[in-house]
A and B are shown apart, each in its own frame.
Chain A
Amino acid sequence: MRTTKSPAPRVLLVLAGLALTFLVLPLIGLLIETPWSELPALLTSTAATEALRLSLLTSVLAAAVATVLGVPLAWVLARIDFPGQRVVRGIVLLPLVLPPVVGGVALLTVFGRRGLVGQYLYDWFGVQLPFSTAGVVMAEAFVAMPFLVITVEGALRNIDPRFEQAARTLGASPRRVLFTITLPMISASLVAGVVLAWARALGEFGATITFAGNFPGVTQTLPLAVYSALEVDRDEAIALSMVLLAVSFTVLISLRGRFLGSRS
Chain B
Amino acid sequence: MSVTARIITHLGEFDLDAQIEASPGETVALLGPNGAGKSTVLRAIAGLQPIDDGCIRIDSTPVDEPASRTFIPPEHRRVGMVFQDYLLFPHLSVGQNIAFGRKGLFKDNDASNWIDALDLRDLLKRKPHELSGGQAQRVALARALATNPRVLLLDEPLAALDAATKQSVRGQLRRFLQRFEHGTILVTHDPLDALVLADRIVVLEAGRATQEGPTTEVASQPRTDYLAALLGVTLLRGVATDGVIECATGGSLIASTSLTGDVVVVLRPQAISLHTNKPEGSARNVWHTMVTSVEVHHDQVRVALAGPPPLVAAVTPAAVAELGIAPGQRMWASLKATDITVHPI
Contacts and interface: CB of A to CB of B under 8 A. Distances in A.
Interface of A: 160, 162-163, 165-173, 180-181, 184-185, 187
Contacts of B77: 169
Contacts of B48: 165, 168-169
B71 to A, nearest CB: 13
B90 A170 contact: no
Nearest to B148: A171
A219 B209 CA distance: 72
Contact of A170 (B47, B73, B91, B144): B144
Interface in B42-83: 46-48, 73-81, 83
B100 A169 contact: no
Given A165-B48, A165-B74, A170 B100 contact: yes
B101 interface: yes
B75 A172 contact: yes
B5 to A, nearest CB: 16
Contact of A173 (B75, B78, B89): B75
Contact of A171 (B87, B89, B103): B103
Contact of B101 (A171, A173, A187): A171
Contacts of A168: 47-48, 73-75
B89 A163 contact: yes
A169 B89 contact: no
A250 B147 CA distance: 46
A165 B75 CA distance: 9
22 contacts: A162-B83, A162-B87, A165-B46, A166-B83, A166-B87, A168-B48, A168-B73, A168-B74, A168-B75, A169-B47, A169-B48, A169-B77, A169-B79, A169-B80, A170-B75, A170-B144, A170-B147, A171-B76, A171-B147, A172-B75, A173-B75, A185-B91
Interface in B127-149: 143-144, 147
Contact of A163 (B78, B81, B87, B143): B87
B151 to A, nearest CB: 11
B89 A167 contact: yes
A171 B75 contact: yes
B41 to A, nearest CB: 15
B83 A170 contact: no
A181 B81 contact: no
A187 B90 CA distance: 12
B87 A170 contact: no
A181 B89 contact: yes
B182 to A, nearest CB: 15
Nearest to A184: B91
